[in-house]
A and B are shown apart, each in its own frame.
Chain A
Amino acid sequence: QKEVEQNSGPLSVPEGAIASLNCTYSDRGSQSFFWYRQYSGKSPELIMSIYSNGDKEDGRFTAQLNKASQYVSLLIRDSQPSDSATYLCTWNNAGNMLTFGGGTRLMVKP
């Protein structure tokens, strides 16, 4: 069964630290991966996409993809209280549907 698994958390980090969020997937055919951020009571918003092995950096965010090990991660440097949210990992299934992980709740404490 094709799945995306995430630790639901909460993951608690102090302000200024690096937050590391991980996601594993079961389908070796997966090609593209995406991280969405969802604040409480709000809709998800896309923050990172990654299509090939390695790292992709965008500001304080770095997405890492390791297809051999079937995991994708999101690093948030210099974490801020405004980063406190649920982070959803998602991937393509080589079709037209999107499968989401359950999300990891991040709490950044001042």
Chain B
Amino acid sequence: EAQVTQNPRYLITVTGKKLTVTCSQNMNHEYMSWYRQDPGLGLRQIYYSMNVEVTDKGDVPEGYKVSRKEKRNFPLILESPSPNQTSLYFCASSLRGRGPYEQYFGPGTRLTVT
């Protein structure tokens, strides 16, 4: 089954404790992206990757890191999480020919930072 998977789905952590949210897709998509979704602010793009070893900042990259060492994986790293990073996070992917627009989204990761 073609899908984007994220782990963990739910995470409660404390301020300053490094964490990684994994994202993997099995569709051989070149483009991958991370979003956060907050009430009243909608979906905002954090980082995106056009292909392996190619990443770039989105609208809200502060406090986040990403890497793209393999085509299928695009982990999101929070080196020192803070309460304002409490949010719902989505990973997404799409075919290169479709640009960043026709994306498949993962199920989401709900992160709480206390």
Partner-B contacts on A (CB < 8 A):
32, 34, 42-46, 49, 88, 90, 92, 96-103
Distance in Å from the Cβ of B55 to the closest Cβ of chain A? 11
Asked if A32 meets B101 with Cβ closer than 8 Å, knowing A96-B50, A102-B41, A103-B42, the reply is yes
Q: Which of B14-22, B71-79, B105-113 contacts A (4 or more CB under 8 A)?
A: B105-113
B97 located at the interface, meaning its Cβ lies under 8 Å from any Cβ of chain A in the complex: no
Assess the B42–A96 pair: CB atoms within 8 A. no
A98 near B33: Cβ-Cβ < 8 Å: yes
Contacts between chains A and B (CB distance < 8 A), count: 52
Q: How many Å lie between the Cα of A102 and that of B39 in the bound state?
A: 9
Chain B residues whose C-beta falls within 8 Å of the C-beta of A88 in the assembled complex: 42-43
A102 to chain B, nearest CB (A): 4
Which residues of B sit under 8 angstroms from A42, Cβ to Cβ? 107-108
Which residues of B pack against A, CB within 8 Å? 31, 33, 40-45, 48, 50, 56, 58-59, 90, 99-108
Q: Which residues of B contact A34 (CB under 8 A)?
A: 101-102
Known: A43-B107, A43-B108. A97 touches B101 (CB 8 A): no
Residues B90 and A44 in contact, CB atoms below 8 Å apart: yes
A44 to chain B: which residues have CB within 8 Å? Answer: 43, 90, 105
Query: Once the chains bind, are A97 and B59 in contact (CB under 8 Å)?
Result: yes
29 inter-chain pairs at a CB distance below 8 angstroms, sorted by A residue, are A32-B99, A34-B101, A34-B102, A42-B108, A43-B90, A43-B106, A44-B90, A46-B102, A46-B104, A49-B102, A88-B42, A88-B43, A90-B101, A92-B101, A96-B48, A96-B50, A96-B99, A97-B45, A97-B48, A97-B58, A97-B59, A98-B100, A98-B101, A99-B45, A99-B59, A100-B42, A101-B42, A102-B41, A102-B42
